[in-house]
Amino acid sequence: MDIKFEYSRKRSEFGRPCNFSDFLAEVTVDIPPDPSLADNFIPQDPVDFSVQEGPAMALHEVNTERVEVSIRGVNHVEGGWPKHVDPKNSELTTRYREEVEREDAYTRSVQRLGTLMEHYIRQNNTIDIYEEYFEEEEEEEDDEEEQPSAKTINVFRDPNTPRRMATHLSWHPDGNRAVAVAYCSLDFQDSRKDMNLDSYIWDVEKPYAPELILKPSSPLVTVEYNSKDWHHVLGGCYNGQIVYWDTRKGGLPMETTPVEFGHRDPVYGAFWLPSRTGTECFSGSTDGQVLWWDIRKMSQPSEKLILDISRKDELKKALGASSLDFAPTMPTKFLVGTEQGIIISCNRDAKTPPEKIAYIFRSHIGAVYSVTRNPFFPKVFLSVGDWTARIWTEELMDSSSIMETKCHTAYLLDVCWSPVKPAVFFTARSDGTLDIWDFLFHQKEPSLSLKVSNDPLLSLRSQDNGRIIGCGTRQGTVSLLEISPGLCTMRKNEKTLTSTMFEREARREKVLQDKYRERQLREQERLRVQPEQREDPQEVFKQAQADFFSSIKAERRRR
């Protein structure tokens, strides 16, 4: 009987890991024989047993008196030919011999085919012998027929009144079976006393009641699952505190940072760090600080960075962080989008705090609502603010974006990349529309625009498979949208083509940047050589004003 033990939980969910090692054998205990106990035993006779270990064969050989043939055991009788075959009849003997030889040939063919297939299977582990070399043409034909589409598969509504904004979403790392939603009112000086503080974790299959109610001391602005320990959930509060939960122990917080050592403004971004212990995290706020924490000791931050782009490390000159992004593929770097429209690329490994501010990108008019790195090309990142979404690369500092969308009539409030297609991203608009862009094929218009709600869309988050998109609205409604396979299936060579596109646009932007600097140098040199020819700004303004009104008068006369 096989002895086995079946675990009811995964190894990562319980206990401490066992460390096995090799060492020499040693005697732990030695029990010498006791002759006085021999009377208690009954001698067994005989002590030798014989067992048959020969394998049972499906193919037998029968030696007859005239010829040796190989036949199946069920077709012969012991000691000779089958009963229906007379050994003296040469015709029947020949016919039977041919029949047996055909069966043997078939058996040998099957055995040889099995050996050949085993060889092909082993070979296929190295080379895909079943690869389809002309699948691109089939995909192109399918794409011509299939139109991009999306449908709503589930809706979660804030169970409280008054309704609050769904400010942030985070998918459960284990198969995206649940989604954590942060609910908060970000309206200026919204001090309604009947405002609920709870946030919720929803089971994707059960939209009518939350799976777990998170009860913070202040409304949550952001929430994030720990990819290393799925039961730990991190939250950033409206009052600047950082809080975390262990979902196995209910909805009450495990620990909260003190108010005096936390942020002074709402926490708009909080992320777990890929440390050995899985207990480190960091947060950013509009108070101009980025703080690092360890949930084992949250009495005060372990590290601090002031977002002063003048690199004087002065809090009064710091820029407020309105968005934050961190990619595990770049564990020491992170991006900060500010209220002043500037994106800061930071490096935690720098020696001094001013050196941690590596690059500065002057991106948008107004606040940067979201910034996120491309999951396939970490040096390329995407931002939204004002009316556009823009793509940047860290290889070009102090320059404009390499690509951007058209200007919309509505504000763009959030953005996220597709985790499976390198050139696809999603934008959320203040008119309740979700835009799906595929810059590899269309750069002037989105591949799909879907009216999700009449309320502004504030938050977006895609599942790991890129098929389901979660959209949070101003009224606390979270809609799950399933997009068509063409928008969430990577094609052959798509990553290479996207990389080529980004490199081409980066080179183009670098050429334009060099030409602009060269023109500025020529202009400075001209003004230095001929200072008397410098034009008065007031005269330039008056001339432009006169030209403007003269063109209006000419148009009126023409009409």
Task: Name the one residue in this structure whose structure tokens are 């050139």.
Answer: 423
CA separation for the pair 450, 434 (Å, rounded): 5
3-state secondary structure of 470: strand
CA 242-274-373 angle, to 5 degrees, is: 85
- Among all chains, which residue has been given the structure tokens 């008065």? 536
Burial grade of 288 (CB within 10 A; 0-12, 13-18, 19 or more) = buried
What is residue 168's predicted lDDT score, i.e. its pLDDT?
92
Helix H or strand E encompassing 346: strand 342-347
pLDDT confidence bin for 169, thresholds 50/70/90: very high
What confidence category does residue 300 fall into, taking pLDDT thresholds of 50, 70 and 90?
confident
Per-residue model confidence (pLDDT) at position 75: 42
State phi, psi for 334 to the nearest 5 degrees. -155, 160
pLDDT for residue 162: 83
| pLDDT at residue number 465 | 86
Vertex 468 angle, CA 177 and 431, to 5°:
125
Closest CA to 427 of 406, 399, 454, 402: 406
Q: What angle do CA 69, 74, 78 make, to 5 degrees?
A: 65
- Cα 98 to Cα 104: distance, rounded to the nearest angstrom: 10
- Predicted confidence (pLDDT) at residue 134 exceeds the cutoff of 60: no
Rounded Cα distance, 149 and 300, in Å: 48
Fold of 151-490: Methylamine Dehydrogenase; Chain H (2.130.10)
What was the pLDDT predicted at 243?
Answer: 92
* pLDDT, tens digit (0-9, with 9 covering 90-100), for 193-239: 778 888 999 988 888 888 989 988 888 999 999 888 888 999 999 88
Ramachandran angles phi, psi of 495, nearest 5°: -65, -40
Residue of higher predicted confidence among 12 and 430: 430
- How far from 383 is each of 103, 187, 398, 414, 450, CA to CA, in Å? 72, 23, 16, 8, 21
pTM exceeds cut of 0.85: no
- Give me the sheet containing 232-237, strands edge to edge: 220-225, 232-237, 242-246, 255-256
In this prediction, residue 525 has a pLDDT band, given cuts at 50, 70 and 90, of confident
Give the pLDDT score at 29.
85
pLDDT digits (tens, 9 = 90+) for 244-287: 988 888 889 888 888 888 888 889 989 998 888 888 899 999 88
Q: Read off the amino acid at residue 234.
A: L
What is the average per-residue pLDDT within 380-390? 89
Two tokens, residue 142: 């399918």
Q: What is the mean pLDDT of residues 140-155?
A: 71
pLDDT computed for residue 57 by the predictor: 58
More confident residue, 364 or 72: 364
The three-class DSSP label of residue 473 is strand
What is residue 310's three-state secondary structure? coil
Q: Residues 43-91: pLDDT tens digits?
A: 766 666 566 556 555 555 555 544 444 444 334 434 455 655 566 666 7
Q: What is the pLDDT of residue 224?
A: 92
Question: What tens digit of pLDDT does each residue of 470-522 get?
Answer: 999 998 899 999 988 888 888 888 889 999 999 998 888 888 888 888 888 88
- Indicate the domain borders of the chain: 151-490
- Going by C-beta distance under 8 Å and a sequence separation of 6 or more, which residues neighbour residue 357? 305, 307, 308, 309, 311, 344, 345, 346
Neighbours of 280 (CB within 10 A): 18
Task: List own/partner pairs for 121-128 with CB under 8 A and 24 or more apart.
Answer: none
- Is the pLDDT confidence value at 127 over 60? no
* Of residues 259, 282, 257, 255, the one with CA closest to residue 270: 282
* Residue 395: per-residue pLDDT: 83
State the Cα–Cα distance between residues 184 and 200, nearest whole angstrom. Answer: 11
Q: Are 470 and 457 in contact (CB under 8 A)?
A: no
The answer to whether 265 and 286 have CB atoms below 8 angstroms apart is yes
Instruction: Give the separation between CA 44 and CA 46, rounded to whole angstroms.
Output: 6
The enclosing H or E element of 283 equals strand 280-285
Sign of CA dihedral 183, 188, 194, 197: positive
User: Which among 293, 397, 312, 292 is positioned nearest to 353, based on CA atoms?
Assistant: 312
Please give the residue that has the higher pLDDT: either 231 or 144: 231
